[in-house]
Amino acid sequence: MIIAFSLFSSSPHALAGRFNVTWVYDGDTFKAVGHDIEIVVRFMAIDAPEISYKKGEPSQPFSDQSKKVLMDLILNRTVEIEGYGLDKRNRVLAVVSLGGKNIGVEMIRQGLAEVYQGELPDDFDLKEYRQAEFQAKTSRRGMWSQRDSYISPMEWRERERRRRGAGMDRP
Protein backbone atom coordinates (compact mmCIF):
# COMPACT_ATOMS: atom_id res chain seq x y z
CA MET A 1 0.00 0.00 0.00
CA ILE A 2 1.32 3.43 -0.93
CA ILE A 3 0.79 6.00 1.80
CA ALA A 4 1.34 9.69 1.32
CA PHE A 5 -1.25 11.95 2.94
CA SER A 6 -0.74 10.68 6.46
CA LEU A 7 2.98 11.48 6.25
CA PHE A 8 2.48 15.22 6.10
CA SER A 9 1.60 17.59 8.87
CA SER A 10 1.21 21.32 8.37
CA SER A 11 4.91 21.55 7.48
CA PRO A 12 5.76 20.96 3.82
CA HIS A 13 9.01 19.32 4.91
CA ALA A 14 7.26 16.81 7.20
CA LEU A 15 8.52 13.80 5.23
CA ALA A 16 12.25 13.47 5.52
CA GLY A 17 14.45 10.49 5.97
CA ARG A 18 16.22 7.57 4.44
CA PHE A 19 14.32 5.38 1.98
CA ASN A 20 15.36 2.43 -0.19
CA VAL A 21 14.55 2.89 -3.87
CA THR A 22 12.68 -0.16 -5.21
CA TRP A 23 11.49 0.98 -8.64
CA VAL A 24 12.26 3.73 -11.17
CA TYR A 25 9.33 4.76 -13.37
CA ASP A 26 11.15 7.34 -15.50
CA GLY A 27 13.81 10.02 -15.19
CA ASP A 28 12.05 11.97 -12.43
CA THR A 29 9.78 9.51 -10.56
CA PHE A 30 10.48 6.46 -8.41
CA LYS A 31 9.08 4.23 -5.67
CA ALA A 32 10.79 3.82 -2.30
CA VAL A 33 10.23 2.09 1.03
CA GLY A 34 11.24 3.09 4.51
CA HIS A 35 9.83 3.76 7.95
CA ASP A 36 7.27 0.96 7.34
CA ILE A 37 5.72 2.75 4.35
CA GLU A 38 5.98 2.78 0.55
CA ILE A 39 5.95 6.09 -1.30
CA VAL A 40 6.07 7.32 -4.89
CA VAL A 41 8.45 10.25 -5.24
CA ARG A 42 8.51 12.94 -7.94
CA PHE A 43 11.76 14.91 -7.97
CA MET A 44 11.35 18.52 -6.95
CA ALA A 45 12.41 21.15 -9.52
CA ILE A 46 13.32 18.82 -12.41
CA ASP A 47 11.44 17.61 -15.47
CA ALA A 48 12.75 14.62 -17.42
CA PRO A 49 11.82 13.53 -20.96
CA GLU A 50 8.50 11.69 -21.15
CA ILE A 51 8.23 7.92 -21.59
CA SER A 52 5.14 6.58 -23.32
CA TYR A 53 3.62 3.54 -21.68
CA LYS A 54 0.96 3.18 -24.37
CA LYS A 55 1.60 0.78 -27.22
CA GLY A 56 2.32 2.59 -30.47
CA GLU A 57 2.73 5.99 -28.82
CA PRO A 58 6.13 7.67 -29.11
CA SER A 59 8.35 8.45 -26.16
CA GLN A 60 10.26 11.70 -26.01
CA PRO A 61 13.89 11.57 -27.17
CA PHE A 62 16.29 10.77 -24.32
CA SER A 63 13.52 9.41 -22.07
CA ASP A 64 14.98 5.90 -22.00
CA GLN A 65 18.48 7.23 -21.31
CA SER A 66 17.14 9.41 -18.51
CA LYS A 67 15.40 6.45 -16.86
CA LYS A 68 18.49 4.26 -17.21
CA VAL A 69 20.81 6.82 -15.66
CA LEU A 70 18.43 7.38 -12.75
CA MET A 71 18.24 3.61 -12.24
CA ASP A 72 22.05 3.42 -12.23
CA LEU A 73 22.22 6.24 -9.69
CA ILE A 74 19.56 5.20 -7.15
CA LEU A 75 17.86 1.84 -7.77
CA ASN A 76 18.31 -0.53 -4.79
CA ARG A 77 20.14 2.21 -2.90
CA THR A 78 19.20 4.14 0.21
CA VAL A 79 18.57 7.81 -0.50
CA GLU A 80 17.81 10.85 1.64
CA ILE A 81 14.42 12.38 0.91
CA GLU A 82 13.39 15.89 1.88
CA GLY A 83 9.68 16.24 1.16
CA TYR A 84 7.94 19.38 -0.05
CA GLY A 85 4.36 18.13 -0.04
CA LEU A 86 2.33 16.25 -2.62
CA ASP A 87 1.63 16.87 -6.28
CA LYS A 88 -1.83 16.53 -7.83
CA ARG A 89 -1.18 12.80 -8.39
CA ASN A 90 -0.35 12.29 -4.69
CA ARG A 91 3.34 11.74 -5.31
CA VAL A 92 5.78 13.08 -2.74
CA LEU A 93 7.62 16.09 -4.16
CA ALA A 94 11.15 15.85 -2.87
CA VAL A 95 14.77 16.77 -3.09
CA VAL A 96 16.64 13.47 -3.23
CA SER A 97 20.27 12.99 -2.34
CA LEU A 98 22.72 10.13 -2.14
CA GLY A 99 26.09 10.48 -0.45
CA GLY A 100 25.57 14.22 -0.19
CA LYS A 101 24.92 14.59 -3.93
CA ASN A 102 21.63 16.16 -5.09
CA ILE A 103 20.40 13.58 -7.61
CA GLY A 104 18.00 16.00 -9.33
CA VAL A 105 20.83 18.42 -10.02
CA GLU A 106 22.93 15.50 -11.27
CA MET A 107 20.20 14.49 -13.75
CA ILE A 108 20.12 18.06 -15.06
CA ARG A 109 23.93 18.22 -15.20
CA GLN A 110 23.97 15.10 -17.38
CA GLY A 111 21.46 16.66 -19.78
CA LEU A 112 18.76 14.15 -18.91
CA ALA A 113 16.34 16.56 -17.23
CA GLU A 114 15.69 20.28 -17.25
CA VAL A 115 14.73 22.73 -14.54
CA TYR A 116 10.98 22.37 -13.95
CA GLN A 117 9.11 25.23 -15.64
CA GLY A 118 6.00 25.04 -13.48
CA GLU A 119 5.22 26.49 -10.08
CA LEU A 120 7.56 25.86 -7.15
CA PRO A 121 7.53 27.13 -3.56
CA ASP A 122 8.66 30.78 -3.36
CA ASP A 123 11.52 29.93 -1.02
CA PHE A 124 12.91 27.08 -3.14
CA ASP A 125 16.44 27.93 -4.29
CA LEU A 126 16.98 27.01 -7.95
CA LYS A 127 20.50 28.42 -8.27
CA GLU A 128 22.30 25.05 -8.32
CA TYR A 129 19.67 23.62 -10.70
CA ARG A 130 19.97 26.55 -13.13
CA GLN A 131 23.78 26.38 -13.07
CA ALA A 132 23.66 22.66 -13.90
CA GLU A 133 21.23 23.30 -16.76
CA PHE A 134 23.41 26.07 -18.15
CA GLN A 135 26.43 23.73 -18.09
CA ALA A 136 24.50 20.92 -19.81
CA LYS A 137 23.12 23.26 -22.48
CA THR A 138 26.44 24.87 -23.30
CA SER A 139 28.13 21.45 -23.43
CA ARG A 140 25.21 20.06 -25.48
CA ARG A 141 24.91 17.05 -23.17
CA GLY A 142 22.05 14.60 -23.45
CA MET A 143 18.79 16.12 -24.61
CA TRP A 144 20.50 19.45 -25.29
CA SER A 145 22.36 17.79 -28.18
CA GLN A 146 19.11 18.12 -30.15
CA ARG A 147 19.71 21.87 -30.41
CA ASP A 148 16.78 23.54 -32.21
CA SER A 149 14.70 20.36 -32.34
CA TYR A 150 14.64 20.14 -28.52
CA ILE A 151 11.16 20.20 -26.98
CA SER A 152 10.75 20.59 -23.22
CA PRO A 153 8.94 17.78 -21.38
CA MET A 154 6.17 20.24 -20.48
CA GLU A 155 5.64 21.16 -24.13
CA TRP A 156 5.87 17.47 -25.15
CA ARG A 157 3.07 16.57 -22.71
CA GLU A 158 0.90 19.39 -24.04
CA ARG A 159 1.49 18.38 -27.67
CA GLU A 160 0.63 14.75 -26.86
CA ARG A 161 -2.58 15.84 -25.07
CA ARG A 162 -3.61 17.91 -28.10
CA ARG A 163 -2.67 15.11 -30.51
CA ARG A 164 -4.70 12.52 -28.59
CA GLY A 165 -7.59 14.93 -28.22
CA ALA A 166 -7.58 15.81 -31.92
CA GLY A 167 -7.61 12.15 -32.87
CA MET A 168 -10.55 11.50 -30.59
CA ASP A 169 -12.62 14.21 -32.30
CA ARG A 170 -12.51 12.44 -35.66
CA PRO A 171 -15.46 10.29 -36.74
Number of structural domains, the chain? 1
Range of the domain at 48: 5-166
Judge whether 82 counts as a catalytic residue: no
pLDDT at position 162: 86
Residue 46: CATH number of its domain:
2.40.50.90
Judge whether 170 counts as a catalytic residue: no
> Would you say residue 171 lies in a domain?
no
Q: What is the mean pLDDT of residues 132-151?
A: 96
> Would you say residue 92 lies in a domain?
yes
User: 46 phi and psi, to 5 degrees?
Assistant: -125, 155
pLDDT at position 15: 80
Judge whether 164 counts as a catalytic residue: no
| Per-residue model confidence as pLDDT tens digits over 71-123 | 999 999 999 999 999 999 999 999 999 999 999 999 999 999 999 998 898 88
pLDDT at position 12: 44
Per the residue annotation, which of 18, 38, 80, 91 is the catalytic one?
Answer: 91
pLDDT at position 13: 52
